Amino acid sequence: MRIGVLTGGGDAPGLNPAVAGVVERATMCGYEVLGLKRGWEAISVRENASHIVELGPEIIREYSRLGGSKLQCSRTNPVSEKNDRTDIVKENMKKLGLDAIVAIGGEDTLGAASVLFERGIPVVGIPKTIDRDLYGTEYSLGYDTALNVICESAQRIAHSAESHQTIFFLEVMGRHAGWLALRGGEAAFADIILIPEYSFEVGQLKEVLREQLETSRSRGFDQIYKMIIVSEGAHIEGEEEIRKDTKLDEFGHYSLGGVGNYLKGLLEHDFRHTRYTALAYLQRGAQPTQKDRAMGRRFGHNAVEMIKNGDFGFYVGVQRARLVKVRLLEIRKSPSLVDVSKHYDTERLNVKQQWTDITE
Ligand code: F6P
């Protein structure tokens, strides 16, 4: 048995440990593993010799601890309408002697995997995205590391914010899902959290801030600053999300970014000192935490088990805290967003207090 493994989409901490997990379990089963570089690109181009690497057990130690992806990533779509390369994928699988593919990625990479599976390619998937918004799984690789970076960064920024009594906007990723902002902000005890799932009024934002400042003053606090964690997809009622530029990737997505700066601009006349920082790639570029290493390893082992059992067309998911098989085509269903009525306090613009389900 020869397995190909690839990492697609944006990089995330936990990809390398997942590849290490695949290699570890495959070695135990007596299977060979080939690394397919740059996501789906490796097997959707004809000249791909430089895209292929042999992965033996000697890589496990290094891969187990590194962030990013040693196999590199790309947002290549092998089944795009404009440039469908299913035939090349099939030819390459034959040429490389591949019996199965493990695709590690998010909605796009696994969405492409589901189409390829429907066209007869034996593929299984592992969920990855710091956004934690994939249908059918409570966990995706990178989320825990990104949350830790957000929490740590908020703490660092607080030193500066406290010194200057700043209203600080810390912008985090997540695309259309507010999980990173909500759970990062919760752990950092952010004063305000703005998420894409709840479009707010600027007037309300100012009002909540004024009340908070007033309360802090009346309690005699002398170091008054406010930390606002804002998701890149958050937007004002009736307005569009703020886009970084006009480019679209192969899956038709645009990049978000800049809402923190925009809001800072709207508030700077009413408040004395306002500042903004976008965490951007710092939250993806970290050494994976214990959770992302362990989950990567488990996902890797389970993906190989699925191949061994002939369970193609599935990805490894987490549901109710258990590892389960989920049909790849489910990944194309609507993403898992924050349920505002369950998790968000629309009056305080913050995480809802007193919630008992800790799986979300
Ligand atoms: O999906 C993961 C993610 O990091 C999003 O949170 C973010 O919007 C996007 O990728 C950024 O993509 P790129 O790496 O193309 O800038």
In CATH terms, 2-142+287-333 corresponds, of 3.40.190.10, 1.20.120.1200, 3.40.50.300, 3.40.50.450, to 3.40.50.450
pLDDT of residue 250: 87
**Nearest atom, ligand 1, residue 283 CA:** 4
| d(CA 274, ligand 1 centre) in Å | 26
**Fold category of 143-283 in CATH:** Rossmann fold (3.40.50)
pLDDT of residue 300: 98
- The residue ranges of DSSP E strands in the chain, in sequence order, are 2-7, 32-36, 52-54, 100-105, 123-127, 167-172, 192-194, 226-231, 274-278, 314-319, 322-327, 344-345, 350-351
Is-catalytic flag, 131?
yes
Same topology, domains 2-142+287-333 and 143-283? Answer is: yes
pLDDT of residue 359: 81
pLDDT of residue 93: 97
Domain ranges of the chain: 2-142+287-333, 143-283
| d(CA 196, ligand 1 centre) in Å | 15
pLDDT of residue 184: 97
Smallest CA-to-CA distance from 153 within 283, 257, 258 is with 283
Contact indicator for 209, 227 with CB cutoff of 8 Å: no
Mutate to test the pocket of ligand 1, among 7, 74, 175 (most ligand atoms within 8 A of CB): 175
Answer whether 174 contacts ligand 1 (Cβ < 6 A). yes
- Angstrom distance (rounded) from CA 253 to CA 233: 13
Select which of 131, 133, 191, 292 is catalytic. Answer: 131
Q: Closest residue (by CA) to atom 14 of ligand 1? A: 10
**Nearest atom, ligand 1, residue 232 CA:** 8
Q: Which two tokens stand for residue 17?
A: 């440990």
> Nearest 5 degrees, angle CA 249-CA 264-CA 213?
135
| d(CA 10, ligand 1 centre) in Å | 6
Q: What is the dihedral of CA 19, 292, 192, 347, to 10 degrees?
A: 90
pLDDT of residue 360: 84
Answer whether 257 contacts ligand 1 (Cβ < 6 A). no
Answer whether 129 contacts ligand 1 (Cβ < 6 A). yes
- Angstrom distance (rounded) from CA 336 to CA 45: 33
> From the first residue on, what is the mean pLDDT of each consecutive set of 10 residues in the chain (360 residues)?
97 98 98 98 93 98 97 96 96 97 97 97 98 97 98 96 95 98 97 98 97 92 89 97 91 94 97 95 95 98 98 97 96 94 97 83
pLDDT of residue 308: 98
Answer whether 284 contacts ligand 1 (Cβ < 6 A). yes
| d(CA 184, ligand 1 centre) in Å | 17
Mutate to test the pocket of ligand 1, among 72, 131, 284 (most ligand atoms within 8 A of CB): 131
pLDDT of residue 241: 95
Contact indicator for 283, 154 with CB cutoff of 8 Å: no
Start-to-end Cα distance in the chain: 38
Query: Is the pTM above the cut of 0.75?
Result: yes
**Nearest atom, ligand 1, residue 284 CA:** 4
